[in-house]
């Protein structure tokens, strides 16, 4: 058996802890800890993060991490920053890539991923998710707990498929988009970039870029006010 790859999670919040738990469920990666911006790190009352009842992992300040511990570029990274900070996620991913660091794919052992599916760098697939044949997930996509993505779907970079979402076949989801918890999307629907589908929605028509849709069936509520940030 090959030696597990060392991984650091960027962000020590709840989303990061879920990713940490996935890493601990497998034997492919060795979790070294978490990282935070220097200003956030200084404000933390505790420089460790609890992941299980008995396991705590260190939190590193970015300046210390990249000047010392990661100077040889051998450590892998994964984004542990949630969907509320889309712009930050995209910026950090681009900076890591520019500096020669690699982002790893993290998949829970209970997830089902078709052999013909394509997963970009930094993808996270959580417990109980199913990704069917010829699905294409862009970089840094998060497929949350119990979500299903059916055949031939495409999900763009940095998008979130929340828990219990169901995408039927041939659905297209753009970049920096959030499909809310428990939503269902009809086959061959296109959902644009920088958009949000509210929790519990049923989407039976295309969703344009930079918009917020919700309801059964889904209707436009407003423009996405975050569009200028993405």
User: Which pLDDT tens digit goes with each residue over 86-134?
Assistant: 888 988 888 888 888 889 999 999 999 999 999 999 999 999 999 999 9
Task: Kindly state whether residue 228 falls inside one of the protein's structural domains.
Answer: no
109 lies in the same domain as 206: yes
Does the CA dihedral 223-206-124-118 come out positive or negative?
negative
CATH of the domain at 116: 2.160.10.10
Q: Is residue 13 part of a domain?
A: yes
Under 8 Å between Cβ of 207 and 195 = yes
pLDDT surpasses 50 at 229: no
Would you say residue 162 lies in a domain?
yes
Q: Is residue 150 part of a domain?
A: yes
What amino acid positions are annotated as catalytic residues? 151
Last residue of a domain, one of 68, 97, 126: 97
Domain limits for position 109: 104-216
| pLDDT tens per residue across span 170-225 | 999 999 999 999 999 999 999 999 999 999 999 999 999 999 999 999 999 998 87
Residue 85 within a domain: yes
Helix, strand, or coil (residue 158) = coil
Residues 49 and 131 in one domain: no
Query: Does residue 23 sit in the same domain as residue 116?
Result: no
Among candidate residues 62, 97, 132, the one where a domain is terminated: 97
Instruction: Kindly state whether residues 51 and 128 are assigned to the same domain.
Output: no
Confidence of residue 228 (pLDDT cuts 50, 70, 90): very low
How many structural domains does the chain have? 2
Mean pLDDT, residues 55-83: 79
Indicate if 82 and 146 belong to the same structural domain: no
Q: How far is CA 78 from CA 11, 52, 164, 196, 217, in A?
A: 9, 19, 23, 23, 35
Residues 157 and 58 grouped into a single domain: no
108 and 93 housed in the same domain = no
Q: Are residues 177 and 206 located together in one domain of the fold? A: yes
230 confidence band (pLDDT: 50, 70, 90): very low
Q: Is residue 224 part of a domain?
A: no
Q: How confident is the model at residue 3 (pLDDT cuts 50, 70, 90)?
A: confident
Confidence of residue 72 (pLDDT cuts 50, 70, 90): low
Helix (H, G, I), strand (E, B) or coil at 96: helix
> What is the rounded CA–CA span in Å between residue 224 and residue 211?
5
Question: Could you tell me the pTM of the whole model?
Answer: 0.91
25: domain CATH number is: 3.40.50.20
Q: Is residue 221 part of a domain?
A: no
Q: Is the same domain home to 72 and 127?
A: no
């Amino acid at each position: 058996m090959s030696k597990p790859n060392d991984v650091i999670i960027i962000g020590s919040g709840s989303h990061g802890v879920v990713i940490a738990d996935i890493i601990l469920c497998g034997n492919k990666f060795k979790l070294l800890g978490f990282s935070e911006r220097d200003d956030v790190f200084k404000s933390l009352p505790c420089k460790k993060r609890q992941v299980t009842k008995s396991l705590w992992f260190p939190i590193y300040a970015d300046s210390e991490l990249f000047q010392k511990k990661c100077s040889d570029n051998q450590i892998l990274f994964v984004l542990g920053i949630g969907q509320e900070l889309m712009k930050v996620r995209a910026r950090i991913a681009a900076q890591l890539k520019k500096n020669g660091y690699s982002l790893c794919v993290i998949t829970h052992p209970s997830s089902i991923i078709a052999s013909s599916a394509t997963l970009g760098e930094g993808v996270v697939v959580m417990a109980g998710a199913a990704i069917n044949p010829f699905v294409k997930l862009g970089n840094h996509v998060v497929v949350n707990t119990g979500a299903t993505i059916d055949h031939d779907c495409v999900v763009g970079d940095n998008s979130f498929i929340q828990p219990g979402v169901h995408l039927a076949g041939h659905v297209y989801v753009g970049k920096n988009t959030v499909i809310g918890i428990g939503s269902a999307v009809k086959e061959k629907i296109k959902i644009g970039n920088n958009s949000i589908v509210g929790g519990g929605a049923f989407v039976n028509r295309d969703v344009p870029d930079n918009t917020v849709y919700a309801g059964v069936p889904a209707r436009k509520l407003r423009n996405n006010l975050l569009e200028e940030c993405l």
